[in-house]
Every structure is written in C-alpha cells, then in structure tokens.
Structure 1
Amino acid sequence: MLKTTGISTLFLPSSRRHPIAAKELARTKKRTFNAPVSAFRFWVGAVLLALNAVVLLSYLLGINSYAAKGYEIKQLQNKIAVLNENNQKLNLKVSEAASMVAIQSDFQASDFVPVRQAEYLQLSQYSLK
C-alpha cells in the first residue's frame, strides 16, 4: 500500500486511502449539502436581492438630494447676508437724507427763505364746532 499523510490523501482513490483519511473524508461529506436550490428559495433570494438594490438606490438618491439641498441653503444664506448688508447701507442713506441738516440744506438749495418769526392762527370757539 501507498503510505501518504495529510491533505493529499483526500484526493486519492478510495482503494489507496489511509483508513483515518477515509473517516475524515466521510465526516466532511456529511457536512456539505449539495441539494439543488428549490424554485421558491431562488425567487425569495432574487426578491430580497432586488429589495436590497432598491433600498440602496433610494438611500443614495436621498443622500444626493440632501447634499444638493445643503448646497442651495448655503448659497441662499450667503445671498441673505449680502442683502442684509445692502439693507443696512440703504437704511444709513435714508437716515442721512431724512436728517434735519440734510433737509435744511435741501431747502437752501431750493431758494426757500428761512422764517424769522412764526405767526399762528387763533381759532375761535365757532370754528372748532
């Protein structure tokens, strides 16, 4: 008989195998299950695989959408900051134009005459009724 040891004994024909290797091979054969896959199991696996693909695709699309919305929000926040700055500048111009000094200089530029003494009308009792 041919004496071999180790894993190589598993690949020899049964007549040349060592008895211990034959027992080991029988034990490994019992562990494996090579039955054909039933149609039900195949379709369940296919449906689960398709469901996983759909969930993954929806997750990726959702993350992409959130990233795009975040970018748009950042752009709008920058635009708001610029508009607030412009608003402050315009408010300053309005307050400068509405100040008493600006109004008086506008009157002088328009050739208005300053009032020396103001005269008020006296209202009678009959005009108030």
Structure 2
Amino acid sequence: MRARLANCAGASAGVAANRAHAWSINRVSAARCGCWPLVAELGTPLFVKPANQGSSVGVSKVRSEAEFHTALALALSFDHKALVESAITGREIECAVLGNEHPEASVCGEVVVHDDFYSYDTKYIS
C-alpha cells in the first residue's frame, strides 16, 4: 500500500489528513539521520511506518526521540522509505478494496480498538 499517495488522494477528496514527512533513508544511516528536530515539529505522539506496507506491518507509535530511532529502524527493515505522521484522534473506519482492473469496495466498518493503536498484533494476533 502506498500510504502517502492514499493520504494525498483522501485529502483531495476532502478527507482531513494528518501532517506527515517521508524520507528515503538507507538502514545504515538511519540511526544517525539527524531528522528528530524536523520530526519533533509534528508533535507527539506520532506514527512511524514503512511507506509501502499495509496491515500495520512495521508501524510504531512514538512519544520520544529514543522511541523514534527504534521505530525508524523497524520501518526501514520493511521498506527503503519511512513515513512519519502526526497522530490524530478520531474514529477509525476501514474498507477493503479487492481487484486490479475492476476493483470493488466492501462495506465500511468502524474499528473499535482497546489497545494503544490498531497494530498488526491487535489485528491478527490478539
């Protein structure tokens, strides 16, 4: 899933979007990227995730610089590009889209989460 493109498409359709940054960073330089000051401008908590994954694979909720570096390393273990987004408070609505040439959308449903966020573990393991 191309998360940044999905955010842009939603915003162009009038869906409120959160503030975000995206970087292409190789795994070796991730620990010393020096991007925390820019990230901190988004405020905390925030989310760090691989730019091209889905199902919350490699997604972390971050509240500090130390958590950021750990989360960035995790995200970059799944993709060469990481996306950092400000956290927003709101309802989570999900909708599956299946198909390539003739995609069809499922009925939308509200996600009710009892954990910190709708993580991979919450979706598939808990």
TM bucket normalised to smaller: under 0.3
More contact order relative to length (CA 8 Å, sep ≥ 6): 2
TM-score normalised over the length of structure 2? 0.14
Name the one with the larger strand percent: 2
Question: Whose Rg is larger?
Answer: 1
